[in-house]
């Protein structure tokens, strides 16, 4: 399984923006769908956003549509999550994850992810 390392979290005020990054350890990430999850204290892990291996298709949970943008750079094995208009409900530990290579994006659900990072904390104050 590939190694994933997140960065870019921090403490911000409501209305601010953050950009999370995730570095993948090897080139198999090129063929893998990738996603961002988050988990707030006392809550279940939430599937936030995903992007197909070729970058052509994306998924967002309703609560972040219009505010978050997922993107990837397969040349540098990087995944990103641009988060705008942050609010306190976005406070969580954010994880990036990857599926096995060549899984059709249309079939991908939260349970398809097999490689996980350790997370980066995002805290939004009101």
What pLDDT, in 10s, does the model give residues 110-123?
899 999 999 999 99
**Dist. CA 68–CA 59, nearest whole Å:** 11
What pLDDT, in 10s, does the model give residues 14-40?
999 999 999 999 877 889 999 999 999
* Confidence (pLDDT) at 26: 82
Count of C-beta atoms within a 10 Å radius of residue 2: 17
What pLDDT, in 10s, does the model give residues 41-64?
999 999 999 999 999 999 999 999
pLDDT at 72 over 90: yes
């Amino acid at each position: 399984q590939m190694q994933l390392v997140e960065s870019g979290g921090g403490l911000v005020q409501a209305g601010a923006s953050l950009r999370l990054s995730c570095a993948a350890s090897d080139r198999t990430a090129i063929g893998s769908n990738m996603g961002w999850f988050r988990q707030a204290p006392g809550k279940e892990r939430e599937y936030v956003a995903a992007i197909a291996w070729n970058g052509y298709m994306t998924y967002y949970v309703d609560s972040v549509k219009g505010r978050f943008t997922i993107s990837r750079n397969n040349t540098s094995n990087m995944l990103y999550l641009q988060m705008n208009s942050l609010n306190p409900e976005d406070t969580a530990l954010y994880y990036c994850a990857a599926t096995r290579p060549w899984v059709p994006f249309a079939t991908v659900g939260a349970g398809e992810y097999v490689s996980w990072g350790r997370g980066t904390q995002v805290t939004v104050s009101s």
